[in-house]
C-alpha cells in the first residue's frame, strides 16, 4: 500500500482542482456589468467545468489506486465512482435549474455554489482522515444552507434554511465531539490506523463506543437516518425544487459513501469479501435497526403527505433506509448493491423531480392534487404521466425497472449476510410504499383535472430529458449488465 | 496544590459559570458577553495545555471576530423588549431537560474519566507555532485548502443571503 | 493534581451546556451562541487529548474547528437576518410554515 506525499498526489487531485477553478471563474465572470446580464453565461461555464471534471476523472481512473496527501484522501475505484456520480448529478441539476421557473432569476453565485457542493461530494467519499471527513461534510452542509435559503422572496425558503442550519450545526457539533473521543482513545485520526488500533487493542473502551455513536449521529443527519431525519421534510419542502432534487441525491450519496467507507475501513476486517465487525462493536445489528426504523418511518409518513416535495422527501428517507441495509450486511455484495442502488436512485429520483418541476411550472402549485388528470391533458401531459408512472414503479421496486434490480441486489446481499428478518421487513416496507406511489398514478389517470387545458411542457430539451430518464429506468431494468459491470469494478475499497 | 492547579480551577470555574450565563440569561446581549468570558477562559485553559497558538487564535478569531459579529447582529436587528424576554418552556419541560442534561453529563464524564491516558509526554515547544505550522502545511495541506474554499464560499454566501434585492426584477 | 480527566470534564460540561442551550432557548441568535459553546467544548477536548497524547494533530483539529465555527456563524447569522426581514422576529416558535399536516387518508 502506497501513501503518496503531497507533490505526487497532485495529479490525483486534478479533477477536483478543475471544479475549484470553475467555481472561481464563475464568480469572476459575474463581475463585469455587461457579462453579468447574460443569464446563460454562468450555467454554461458550470456545465463546461463539470464536463471537464468528468473527463479528467476518467483520465485519473487509469492511475494506480493510492492513498494520497499523507493519508488524507484515498483514490480507489470507489472514489472514482463517486466522481462520476457527482458529475452526473450536477449536470442534471444544472439542467433542471435552467428549466424551473422558481430559480429562473438566479445570479451567478447559485451556479458557483452548485459547483462547490459537487466538489464536496467526491472529497467526502474519498476521505480517510476524520478531520478531512468533518471538513468535507461541512463544505457540503454550509453550501447547502446557502442554496436552501436562496429564494429570498419566499417565506418557506428562509425558514427551511434556518432549520437546516440549526439541525446541521448541532449534528456536526455532536459528530466532531465524537471524533475527538475517537482521537483520544485511539491516538490517531486516520481511519486505517483506527482499524489497526482496534485489532491490536481488544480491551473494551466505553469512550470509543460513545464516540462512534456520536459520529454516527453526524453521518445519520447527512443521510437523513431516523432519528436524525427531522430536518429533511422541512428543508426539502422549503428549498427551491431543483435544489431539493440535488440535495436528495448528491449530498445524500456522499453521506452514504463516507458512512460505508468509515464502517468498512475502520470498524471491520476484510476476510475474503466478508467484512467482520471488530471487537465488541456490533455495528451490523446497530445499522440493521437504524435501516429498519428509517425505511418504516419514511414509508408510513409518506402515506399522509399532500405536498409533492414533502412526499418525495419522505420517499427519499425510506430509500435511505434501504441503502442503509448495505451498512448492516457488511459484504462485497452489499457494496455492489448499494452502488447499483445509488445509480438507479439517481435516475428515478431525478426523473420524478423533473416531472414534479414540470408540474409546478405548469400549475404553480406544489400540491399533489396538481397531478390530477395529468394523463388526459394532451400529448405532453400523457408523456409526462407515462414517465412519472415509470419512475413511481421504479421507486416502488417493481420489474421491469432499474429500481427493481437495485432492490434485488441489496436484498440478496442482506440474505447473503443471513439477516433474514431485515430482508423480510424490507420487502414488506416496499409493499407499503406501493400504496402511496400508486396514489400518484391514480391521480394522473383516474381523477379529473381542475382545468382541462393541455399540459404546458414546452421546448425540446426538457421533455427529452424526462423521456431519457424514463427510458434509462426501463433500459437498465432489462439490460442491467452494463451497470452491474460498473458496480463490480467500483465496489473496491483501498484499505 | 500547584500554581498550575489553581490556574486550572480559576479558568475552569469562569468558563463554566459564564457558559451557564450564556444559556440562562434572558437578554441575548448578556449571553454574548458571557460567551466572551467563556472564550477567554477556554483560551486560558489552552495556555495551560501548551496550545499557545490556538489560545491566541481563540481570542483573536472567536472573541475578536465572531463575537463582534454576534453583538453587531443583535444591535442591527434592534429587537423589541418582548423579543429579548423570550418565552421559554414550562417548568416540567425545564426540569426534564435539566435531568436529561445531568444524566448526559454524568455519562460522558464517566466515559472520559475512563480514558486511560496518564503521564505527561509533552516536550518543550510542543504547541508552538512552528510545530503546528509544519503539521498543517505538510500532512494537513488538503484540509487547509478546503478550509480556504469553505471560508470563501461562506463569505460569498453570507453576503448573498443578507443582501436585500438579489433577484433581478 | 490536575490531569487529563479534569480538562475533559470541563469540556463535557461546556458541550452539554451548549446542547441544553440549543434545545431550551427560543431565540435563534442565542441558539447559535450555544452551538459555539458546544464547539468550544469540542476544541478543549481535542487540545487536552493532544497534550496528553503528545500528538500535535489534536491542535490541528482544534484549529480547523475554529475556522469552521467562523464560517458556520457567518452563514447562520446571515440566514437569521433573512428570517428577521421576512417575519420581524427571531423566535423559533414562529417558524411554523413548514410542518407535517395530518390528514385522514
Give DSSP secondary structure letters for A56-79.
Answer: HHHHHTTSPPEEETTTTEEESHHH
Q: Is residue A401 part of a domain?
A: yes
Contacts A153 to B, Cβ<8 Å: 167
Q: Is the dihedral of CA B77, B79, B85, B86 positive or negative?
A: negative
Cα distance between residue B7 and residue A490, in whole Å: 55
pLDDT at B119: 61
Instruction: Give the pLDDT band (50/70/90) at residue B112.
Output: low
For chain A, the average pLDDT equals: 90
pLDDT in tens, A9-39: 889 999 999 999 999 999 888 888 777 778 8
Q: Report yes or no on C65 lying in a domain.
A: yes
Distance CA A433, CA A317 (A): 12
Tens-place pLDDT, residues A152-166:
667 788 889 999 999
Cβ-count burial of C94 within 10 angstroms (0-12 exposed, 13-18 middle, 19+ buried)? middle
- Neighbours of C, requiring at least 3 CB pairs below 8 Å, are A, B
For A323, residues 6+ apart whose C-beta sits below 8 A from its C-beta are A223, A256, A338, A341, A342, A345, A410
Three-state SS letters, C9-50: HHHHHHHHHHHHHHHHCCEHHHHHHHHHHHHHHHHHHHHHHH
Q: pLDDT tens across A455-489, in order?
A: 888 788 899 999 999 999 999 999 988 888 888 88
Find the mean pLDDT for residues A121-144: 94
Size of chain C, expressed as the number of residues it contains? 105
Residue C56, CA atoms < 13 Å, CB-side half-sphere: 21
- Going by pLDDT thresholds of 50, 70 and 90, the confidence category of residue B167 is very low
Find the Cα–Cα–Cα–Cα dihedral B79, B80, B85, B87, rounded to 10°: -90
CA distance B20 to A457: 58
Cβ atoms of A352 and A495 within 8 Å: the answer is no
Grid cell in block for residue A237: 419542502
Whole-angstrom distance, CA of residue A359 vs CA of residue A381: 9
Q: What is the DSSP letter of B167?
A: S
Lowest mean pLDDT among A348-357, B117-126, C53-62: B117-126
Indicate the number of domains in chain B.
Answer: 1
Residue C62 included in any domain: yes
Q: Do B150 and C68 touch (CB under 8 A)?
A: yes
Sort strands A73-75 and A66-68 into parallel, antiparallel or unpaired: antiparallel
To the nearest 10 degrees (0 to 180), the angle between helices B28-48 and B67-77 is: 180
CATH of the domain at C74: 1.10.287.3510
In A131-281, which ranges are E strands? 268-271, 274-277
- Enter the C-alpha cell of residue C34: 450555544
Q: Is the dihedral of CA A244, C78, C36, C15 positive or negative?
A: negative
Separation of CA A106 from chain center: 24
Per-residue pLDDT tens over the stretch C19-44: 888 888 888 899 999 999 999 999 99
Partner-chain contact A210 B115, CB within 8 Å: no
Give the total residue count for chain B.
169
pLDDT at B168 over 50: no
CB A79 within 8 A of CB B150: no
- Residue B142, in any domain of the structure: no
- pLDDT value, residue B92: 67
The neighbour count for residue A320, using CB atoms within 10 Å, is 27
Q: Provide the 8-state DSSP code for A485.
A: H
**A44 preceded by cis ω (within 30°)?**
no
Query: Quick check: B75 pLDDT over 90?
Result: no
Domain containing B89 equals 3-125
A409 CB-near residues (< 8 Å, 6+ apart) = A333, A336, A337, A340, A341, A484, A487
Instruction: Name the residue of chain C whose CA is nearest to A160's CA.
Output: C98
Tell the burial category of A37 from Cβ atoms under 10 Å away from its Cβ (0-12, 13-18, 19+). exposed
Query: Domain range for residue C61?
Result: 4-89
Cβ atoms of residues A171 and A221 within 8 Å: yes
Q: How many Å apart are CA A294 and CA A297, to the nearest integer? A: 5
Note whether A476 and A324 are within 8 A (CB): no
Least confident window among A74-78, B40-44, B86-90, C63-67: B86-90
Residue in B with minimal Cα distance to A180 = B112
Cα–Cα distance for residue pair B166/B161, rounded to 1 Å: 8
Q: Which residue has the cell 479528467?
A: A56
Mutation target vs B (from A11, A67, A71, A139; most B CBs, 10 A cutoff): A139
Q: Is C57 on the interface with B (CB under 8 A)?
A: yes
In a domain? residue B21: yes
Contact C82 A304 (CB under 8 A): no
Contact A211, A182 (CB under 8 A): yes
Provide ipTM, 2 decimals: 0.94
- Do A146 and B147 count as a contact with CB atoms less than 8 A apart? no
A72/B160 touch (CB, cutoff 8 Å), yes or no: no
Tell me how crowded residue A51 is: count the other CB atoms within 10 A of its CB: 14
Does A261 fall in a domain?
A: no
The reply to whether residue C58 touches residue A183, judged by beta carbons under 8 angstroms, is yes
CA separation, residue A21 to residues A11, A32, A111, A367 (Å): 15, 18, 13, 40
Residue A70 CB: number of other CB atoms within 10 A? Answer: 18
Other beta carbons less than 10 A from residue A129's beta carbon: 27
Copy the grid coordinates of residue B135. 503539521
User: Hey, are the CB atoms on B161 and C25 less than 8 Å from each other?
Assistant: no
What's the CA gap between C47 and C53, in Å, rounded? 10
State how far the Cα of A181 lies from the Cα of A173, in Å rounded to an integer.
13
- CATH number of the domain that B97 lies in? 1.20.120.1200
Instruction: Name every chain C residue with its beta carbon within 8 A of the beta carbon of A160.
Output: 98
CB A152 within 8 Å of CB B167? yes
Which pLDDT belongs to residue A391?
94
Burial of B67 (0-12, 13-18, 19+ CB in 10 A): buried
Q: What is the dihedral of CA A287, A333, A300, A359, to 10 degrees?
A: 130
pLDDT of res. A475? 93
Using a CB-CB cut-off of 8 Å, the residues of chain B touching A107 are 160, 166-168
What grid cell was written down for A5?
Answer: 506525499
- Closest by Cβ to A162, choosing from C19, C71, C79: C79
* Secondary structure of residue A307 in the 3-state scheme: strand
Residue C26: list chain B partners with CB under 8 A: 86-88
Position B85 confidence tier, pLDDT thresholds 50, 70, 90: low
- For the stretch A219-241, pLDDT in tens is 999 999 988 998 999 999 999 99
Q: Residue range A44-67: average pLDDT? A: 93
Q: With 60 as the cut, is the pLDDT of residue B81 above it? A: no
Q: Is B73 contained in some domain?
A: yes
How many domains is chain C partitioned into structurally? 1
With b meaning 16 or more CB within 10 Å and e meaning fewer, what string describes B9-29?
eebbebbbebbbbbbbbebbe
Size of interface A-B (CB pairs under 8 A): 93
A172-209 confidence digits (pLDDT tens): 999 999 999 899 888 899 999 998 888 887 766 778 88
Among the partner-chain residues B139, B150, B168, the one whose CB lies closest to the CB of A138 is: B150
Q: Which residue of C has its CA nearest to A137?
A: C68
The reply to whether C102 touches chain A by the CB within 8 Å rule is: yes
Is A246:A354 a contact under the CB 8 Å cutoff? no
- Grade residue C101 by pLDDT with cuts at 50, 70 and 90: low
Residue B120 resides in a domain: yes
Domain of residue A454, residue span: 295-495
| Residue C37 to residue A287: CA distance in whole angstroms | 30
**Interface A:C, Cβ pairs < 8 A:** 122
Read off the pLDDT band of C105 (50, 70, 90): very low
- Shortest alpha-carbon distance between residue B158 and chain C (Å): 5
A419 assigned to some structural domain? yes
Nearest to A240 by CA among A144, A377, A382, A131: A144
- Which residue has better confidence, A262 or C87? A262
**Interface membership of C77 toward B (CB under 8 Å):** yes
The closest CB to that of B77, out of C14, C20, C90, belongs to: C90
Backbone angles phi, psi at A276, to 5 degrees: -90, 125
Query: Which residues is A269 bridged to in the sheet?
Result: A276
Question: Per-residue pLDDT for B127 more than 80?
Answer: no
Residue B133 lies in a domain: no
Contacts of B112 in chain A (CB under 8 A): 181, 184, 207
Using CB atoms, which chains have 3+ pairs under 8 A with A?
A: B, C
Statement: residue A360 has pLDDT above 50:
yes
| A192 belongs to a structural domain | no
- Return the residue of B nearest to C65 by Cα: B147
Residue B131 within a domain = no
> How far is the CA of A97 from the CAs of A100, A224, A457, in angstroms?
5, 24, 15
Question: Distance of CA A147 to CAs A46, A82, A243, B77, C85, Å?
Answer: 16, 22, 7, 23, 18
- Let me know if residue A445 belongs to a domain: yes
Among A235, A233, A234, A229, smallest CA distance to A217 is for A229
Cα separation, B160 vs C81, in Å, equals: 12
Work out how many domains chain A is built from and give that number.
1
Amino acid at each position: 500500500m502506497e501513501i503518496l506525499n503531497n507533490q505526487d498526489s497532485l495529479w490525483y487531485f486534478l479533477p477536483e482542482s478543475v471544479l475549484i477553478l470553475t467555481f472561481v471563474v464563475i464568480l469572476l465572470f459575474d463581475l463585469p456589468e455587461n457579462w453579468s446580464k447574460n443569464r446563460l453565461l454562468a450555467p454554461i461555464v458550470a456545465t463546461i467545468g463539470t464536463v471537464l471534471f468528468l473527463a479528467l476523472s476518467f483520465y485519473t481512473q487509469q492511475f494506480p489506486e493510492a492513498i494520497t496527501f499523507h493519508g488524507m484522501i484515498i483514490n480507489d475505484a470507489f472514489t472514482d465512482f463517486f466522481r462520476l456520480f457527482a458529475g452526473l448529478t450536477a449536470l442534471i441539476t444544472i439542467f433542471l435549474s435552467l428549466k424551473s421557473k422558481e430559480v429562473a432569476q438566479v445570479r451567478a453565485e447559485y451556479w458557483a455554489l452548485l459547483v462547490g457542493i459537487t466538489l464536496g461530494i467526491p472529497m467526502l467519499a474519498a476521505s480517510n482522515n476524520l478531520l478531512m471527513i468533518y471538513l468535507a461534510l461541512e463544505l457540503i452542509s454550509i453550501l447547502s444552507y446557502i442554496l436552501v435559503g436562496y429564494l429570498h422572496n419566499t417565506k418557506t425558503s428562509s425558514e427551511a434554511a434556518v432549520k437546516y442550519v440549526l439541525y446541521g450545526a448541532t449534528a456536526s457539533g455532536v459528530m466532531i465531539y465524537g471524533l475527538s473521543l475517537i482521537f483520544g482513545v485511539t491516538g490517531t485520526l486516520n481511519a486505517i490506523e483506527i482499524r489497526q488500533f482496534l485489532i491490536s487493542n481488544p480491551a473494551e473502551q466505553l469512550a470509543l463506543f460513545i464516540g462512534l455513536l456520536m459520529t454516527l449521529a453526524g453521518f445519520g443527519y447527512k443521510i437523513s437516518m431516523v432519528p436524525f431525519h427531522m430536518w429533511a421534510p422541512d428543508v426539502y419542502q422549503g428549498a427551491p425544487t431543483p435544489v431539493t432534487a440535488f440535495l436528495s441525491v448528491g449530498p445524500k450519496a456522499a453521506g452514504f459513501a463516507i458512512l460505508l467507507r468509515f464502517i468498512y475501513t475502520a470498524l471491520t476486517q476484510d476476510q475474503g469479501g466478508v467484512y467482520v465487525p471488530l471487537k465488541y462493536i456490533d455495528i451490523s445489528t446497530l445499522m440493521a435497526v437504524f435501516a429498519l426504523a428509517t425505511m418504516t418511518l419514511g414509508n408510513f409518513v409518506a402515506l399522509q403527505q399532500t405536498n409533492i416535495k414533502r412526499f418525495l422527501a419522505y420517499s427519499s428517507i425510506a430509500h435511505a433506509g434501504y441503502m442503509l441495509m448495505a451498512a448492516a450486511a457488511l459484504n462485497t455484495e452489499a457494496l455492489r448493491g448499494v452502488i447499483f442502488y445509488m445509480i438507479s436512485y439517481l435516475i428515478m429520483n431525478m426523473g420524478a423531480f423533473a416531472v414534479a418541476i414540470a408540474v409546478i411550472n405548469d400549475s404553480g402549485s406544489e400540491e399533489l392534487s396538481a397531478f390530477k388528470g395529468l394523463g388526459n391533458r394532451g400529448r405532453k401531459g400523457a408523456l409526462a404521466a407515462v414517465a412519472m408512472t415509470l419512475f413511481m414503479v421504479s421507486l416502488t421496486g417493481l420489474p421491469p425497472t432499474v429500481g427493481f434490480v437495485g432492490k434485488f441486489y441489496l436484498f440478496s446481499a442482506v440474505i447473503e449476510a443471513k439477516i433474514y428478518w431485515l430482508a423480510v421487513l424490507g420487502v414488506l416496507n416496499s409493499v407499503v410504499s406501493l400504496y402511496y406511489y400508486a396514489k400518484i398514478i391514480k391521480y394522473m389517470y383516474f381523477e379529473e383535472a381542475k382545468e382541462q387545458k393541455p399540459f404546458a411542457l414546452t421546448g425540446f430539451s426538457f421533455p427529452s430529458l424526462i423521456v431519457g430518464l424514463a427510458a434509462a429506468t426501463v433500459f437498465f431494468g432489462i439490460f442491467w449488465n452494463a451497470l452491474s459491470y460498473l458496480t463490480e469494478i467500483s465496489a473496491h475499497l483501498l484499505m | 496544590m500547584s500554581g498550575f492547579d489553581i490556574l486550572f480551577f480559576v479558568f475552569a470555574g469562569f468558563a463554566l459559570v459564564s457558559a451557564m450565563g450564556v444559556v440562562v440569561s434572558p437578554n441575548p446581549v448578556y449571553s454574548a458577553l458571557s460567551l466572551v468570558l467563556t472564550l477567554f477562559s477556554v483560551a486560558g485553559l489552552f495556555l495551560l495545555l501548551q496550545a499557545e497558538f490556538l489560545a491566541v487564535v481563540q481570542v483573536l478569531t472567536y472573541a475578536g471576530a465572531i463575537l463582534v459579529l454576534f453583538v453587531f447582529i443583535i444591535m442591527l436587528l434592534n429587537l423589541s423588549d418582548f423579543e429579548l424576554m423570550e418565552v421559554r418552556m414550562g417548568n416540567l419541560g425545564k426540569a426534564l431537560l435539566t435531568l436529561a442534561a445531568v444524566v448526559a453529563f454524568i455519562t460522558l464524564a464517566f466515559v472520559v474519566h475512563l480514558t486511560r491516558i496518564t503521564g505527561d509526554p509533552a516536550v518543550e515547544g510542543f504547541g508552538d507555532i512552528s510545530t503546528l505550522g509544519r503539521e498543517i502545511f505538510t500532512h494537513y495541506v488538503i484540509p487547509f485548502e478546503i478550509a480556504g474554499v469553505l471560508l470563501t464560499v461562506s463569505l460569498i454566501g453570507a453576503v448573498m443571503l443578507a443582501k436585500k434585492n438579489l433577484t433581478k426584477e | 493534581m490536575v490531569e487529563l480527566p479534569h480538562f475533559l470534564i470541563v469540556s463535557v460540561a461546556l458541550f452539554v451546556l451548549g446542547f441544553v442551550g440549543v434545545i431550551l432557548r427560543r431565540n435563534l441568535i442565542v441558539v447559535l451562541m450555544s452551538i459555539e459553546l458546544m464547539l468550544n467544548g469540542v476544541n478543549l477536548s481535542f487540545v487536552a487529548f493532544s497534550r496528553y497524547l503528545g500528538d500535535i494533530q489534536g491542535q490541528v483539529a482544534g484549529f480547523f474547528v475554529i475556522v469552521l465555527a467562523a464560517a458556520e456563524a457567518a452563514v447562520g447569522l446571515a440566514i437569521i437576518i433573512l428570517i428577521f426581514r421576512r417575519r420581524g422576529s427571531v423566535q423559533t416558535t414562529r417558524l411554523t410554515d413548514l410542518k407535517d399536516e395530518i390528514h385522514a387518508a
